[in-house]
Each structure stands twice: as C-alpha cells, then as structure tokens.
Amino acid sequence: MDALLAQRQRLSARIRDHREERDLLLGIVKSLDEQLVRDECLLDDVDSALGRETQLRLEQSDLRLRGRRLEEVAMRVLADEKGAHAEVHYRDWFELLRARGYWIGGKEPLNTFLAQINRSSDVERVGRRSGRYRLVRAA
C-alpha cells in the first residue's frame, strides 16, 4: 500500500510538472505566432516599398503613414518593441517608428503622429501632461 501511495505521489508530481511545461511551451508558441504575423506584415510593407508586389496596395502607394494606417503601424511597433503594457513617451515612440524606417506624413510629422495616437482607443495617456502613453490592448 505504501508503495502505491508513493507511486501516486510521483505520478501526480510528474503530471503537474508536465502541465506547467506544456503551459510554458504553449505561451512560447503563441508568442512566436504573434511575432510571425508581425514580421510577415512588415515584410509585406518592405516588399510594397520596394515594388516587389505585383500590385501595390492603395493605402501604401504613398509610403508616408497617415490616419488609420499610421495608428495600426504605431500600435504594432510599440507592442513589438516595448511589450503590451509598457509606458513610453510619445517622442520615443515616434523615434521607434523612424528607426524602423517608417515616414510620417504631414507638414509636422511629430504633430501628425501625436494627433493620431490621441484619437486611438488602443492607447491611454499616463498622467495628465507627462507625454507618456500605454497600450490598452495589444496590436
């Protein structure tokens, strides 16, 4: 009887360990899937810019980001670079976009960027006049 109880404890511990390992691996797979989607989108953007697609998408015929496209790219870049809930100053966020090779449209690109992220329901301001933002939901 004692041997069976010991066997049961070992099996229970092994099942618990396997479940923890499985959950960790599923998290890694999910993260890789999300990164793959982001990288494929970025590759499509680069191919469009290089003219390698058979037909440029209408919204990307002008390489400068504006409007909803600017918002989508900004959210994706922030999530990629800083994580889903990190805080960032808007100037640093703007520089993240520039570092990835994106151009922002308008006479004053920084102002265009700031106006668009202020309209977004995907971010929230941190503090009253800090210039800091945080993603509400990941891109």
Q: Render each residue's pLDDT in the chain as its tens digit; 139 residues.
A: 899 999 999 999 999 999 999 999 988 888 887 787 778 777 877 777 776 754 545 544 456 788 888 898 899 889 888 887 788 999 999 999 988 888 888 889 999 999 999 988 888 888 888 899 988 865 4
Instruction: Note whether 68 and 104 are same-domain residues.
Output: yes
Please tell me whether residues 99 and 51 are part of one structural domain.
no
Entry pTM: 0.54
Helix, strand, coil content of the chain in percent (nearest 5): 65, 10, 25
Domain span at residue 28 reads 1-57
Split into its structural domains, the chain has a count of: 2
- On whether both 5 and 51 belong to a single domain, the answer is yes
Same domain, 75 and 106: yes
Q: Are residues 131 and 67 both part of a single domain?
A: yes
Q: How far is CA 47 from CA 40, 54, 57, 61, 71, in A?
A: 10, 10, 11, 12, 20
Beta bridge partners of 124: 134
Are 67 and 48 members of one domain? Answer: no
Contact 88, 82 (CB under 8 A): yes
